[in-house]
Structure 1
């Protein structure tokens, strides 16, 4: 899966709590500081006005007494009372001071209110857009996206990004589900229509109801039954209810058995299966189910990559796992279809011809079985052409407890 490239973070975005606290505290502290500054400015201007009325000699004498009033306290108070007024020495706030303070508070209340609303608007707007988008998704409009502004807290930005990803995934899931239902109906209808048509022909006397005709009907019904069984197995695996009977067994032994089973088909298709045998640790797996995986991968190569004329099987041990690789030399698939080949009813219709058959459920079943064993099935493109399937399973000691719990469930 392709990794998303993200821009390097130069600065960590503030959290929602820090984002709110920083802005509200900034408004509160800024308002208090500004009111205090204006009150100081009022007294500063008043003092400068009184000093401007004093004679130069009195102003110089007051400057000296202001630094050391104890040298002549009576003269200091005389100057203050004469030029500043008797009320200047009163420590209580005067009526004018209260009026000015109240006036400043009345001015700053609407300013703080407006700034607070402006600060909270990005959050409110983003939450409203999220609510509206969530309503659209709940009504079936999958794929709905919302813009992600920069001036929002990190939590809200992450929530918006995750919502967009979720919405796109729902849209893709709905599209794949509809596509899968159409393909499923087509796959089930083909053998059923053929069987019904053949039976109707026998009823109408068009065909003689002999053994040959009955076998043709039976073949179509068997194909229909196989499709139903494959769908049932796939759904059991998706639900985590696939019944496993694990044993300690070497994967090379299972591969050898499936190669012997497919030898006539490989000879007929002109494909040489090259088995690079080596000693590998035993894995605690269900031999039948894992054998089914190997059989699907080999059969897939015979169906779609026969023109490469070879299928190479190798092993790679990297504790605690064993990886079995199936490398063919066929035409391969386009990059955009590489991961989709594990989707139900998907065939490699572009470079691997459809006429070779298959329902499109083999590879999804193989991956589901591997995941039921807590393993992996992945695919890569060969540099020389063709595909490389990798089956990765845990060795016995690491896998025993996990698989035992899976069986008990």
Structure 2
């Protein structure tokens, strides 16, 4: 059972007050009993001196109460200091850890004891540190990856421009087109990075609508057929009828185009790529299957990460930027779905999204069944 911090504090304060009260009461009772006993013993033989004895008794009791009061204050201060130190110690430690984290020591952690609010705060600080460490690793990796991705096309452009400037190359249409292709690749990389940043933004929103999956798949087929035909790859689309999704049609199209572009890249001429959709209960399953070399099992957990390419020797010409599948993963998650990859005589990508009910059919103005029209 979780112990609330305010309950602990209340119990400690009540216990402290009770202890002080008991000690004070016991002290007063003992001192009063002592003085009264002395008073009675002296009063038996000195009845003529009663006024002085009464004054002495009164002063003795007042002194006892005064010293007891002062002792209670000292005791309360000591116990209060102990309680305050007990409560503030973890807060002081958390403050020190937070200051270390501010200074860049993200491996700092605070000790967590118990299960009250202070312990929860300590766990939250530790989780924050782990999250910051993860983000820092991502930042460093992204910086290295972006530098690597930009280095090759920029070096190519630099060498081409230098050769043209020095007169080593003639500015033929083919060479100018080669430079243009490198510029296009750089622009595509920047656009993909901007899109990933947009998807990570808290203000990103989907323009959801009830969309028939068949319409989206037919549209994608129109986009991609020419590219597959040019590479001599058989491209088939199995679009289900009357299957609807509550989705952003443009983003759903982008998801399928990215997956098909990936399949186009890795499927050799003479291969096959299949796009298929079907409904399974309350889910809509979309698969993109190719007959390429597949994905190494060791690469499967990482293929949706930014800039990840299983074959480290591939450049942007042969292996893309490594951002397309990351964009797919982000968009599928934004739709509340899941995307996964597997091997089955080639690579297979499976998207699972929640199905939507078909729109109601409007029958207003139609004659009732069995009724002849006038």
One fold, TM greater than 0.5? yes
2:340 alignment counterpart: 379
Aligned residues of 1:370 and 1:393 also touching (Cα < 8 A): no
User: How far does the alpha carbon of each residue in 1:39-65 deviate from its partner, in whole angstroms, 9 at most, with x for none?
Assistant: 445677899999xx9xxxxxxxxxxxx
Determine the C-alpha separation between the residues in 1 that align with 2:325 and 2:72: 70
Q: Which residue of 1 aligns with 2:131?
A: 169
2:32 and 2:4 mapped to 1: Cα distance? 40
* Equivalent position of 2:197 in the other structure: 235
The corresponding residue for 1:390 is 351
For the 8 Å contact 2:243–2:355, the answer to whether it is kept is no
Pair 46,325 (structure 1): closer, same or farther in 2 beyond 3 Å: farther
Aligned length: 348
Q: State the match for 1:345 in structure 2.
A: 307
TM-score normalized by the length of structure 2: 0.73
Shift of 1:385: 10
- Counterpart position of 1:12: 2
Displacement after TM superposition at 1:259 (Å) = 5.1
Residue of structure 1 equivalent to 2:362: none
Are 1:143 and 1:170, in contact at CA under 8 Å, matched by a contact in 2? Answer: no
TM-score when normalising by structure 1: 0.67
Q: Unaligned 5+ residue runs, structure 2?
A: 360-374
Question: Structure 1's 390 and 40: CA in aligned 2 closer, same or farther, altered over 3 A?
Answer: farther
Q: 5 Å matches for 1:215-234?
A: 215-234=177-196
Per-residue deviation at 1:136?
2.5
| 1:23 CA displacement | 0.7
Q: Is the 8 A contact 1:323 1:390 kept in 2?
A: yes
1:31 aligns with 2:20: yes
- 1:295 Cα shift? 1.9
Q: Which residue of the other structure, out of 66, 84, 94, is the alignment partner of 1:102?
A: 66
Aligned partner of 2:217 in structure 1 is 255
1:10-30 per-position Cα deviation (integer Å, ceiling 9, x unaligned): x22123x22222211210112
CA contact (8 A) 1:137 1:167 kept: yes
Moved more, 219-228 or 380-389: 380-389
Matches within 5 A, 1:204-219: 204-219=166-181
Q: Label 1:44 to 1:177 Cα distance change in 2 as closer, same or farther (>3 A).
A: same
What is aligned with 1:289? Answer: 251
Q: Secondary structure at the match of 1:32?
A: helix
Q: State the distance in 2 between where 1:309 and 1:185 align.
A: 35
Q: Is 1:112 aligned to 2:101, yes or no?
A: no
* Partners of 1:20 and 1:305 in 2: CA distance: 68
**Structure holding more helix per residue:** 1
Match of 2:319 among 351, 357, 360: 357
Superimposed CA distance per residue, residues 50-108 of structure 1 (whole angstroms, 9 cap, x where no aligned partner): 9xx9xxxxxxxxxxxxxxxxxxxxxxxxxxx869x989xx9x97433333343444444
Q: Which runs of 5+ in 1 are unaligned?
A: 1-10, 54-80, 399-409
**Alignment CA distance shift 1:272-1:45 (3 Å):** farther
Match of 2:105 in 1: 141
Secondary structure at the residue paired with 1:249? strand
Per-residue deviation, 1:361: 0.9
Task: Pick one of 278, 302, 305 that aligns with 1:315.
Answer: 278
- The alpha carbon displacement at 1:198 in A equals 1.6
SS at match of 1:342: coil
Cα root mean square deviation, aligned: 4.5
Distance 1:380 1:21, change over 3 A: farther
Instruction: Provide the rounded CA distance (Å) in 2 between the counterparts of 1:93 and 1:347.
Output: 95
Q: Matches of 2:345 and 2:71 in 1, distance apart?
A: 78
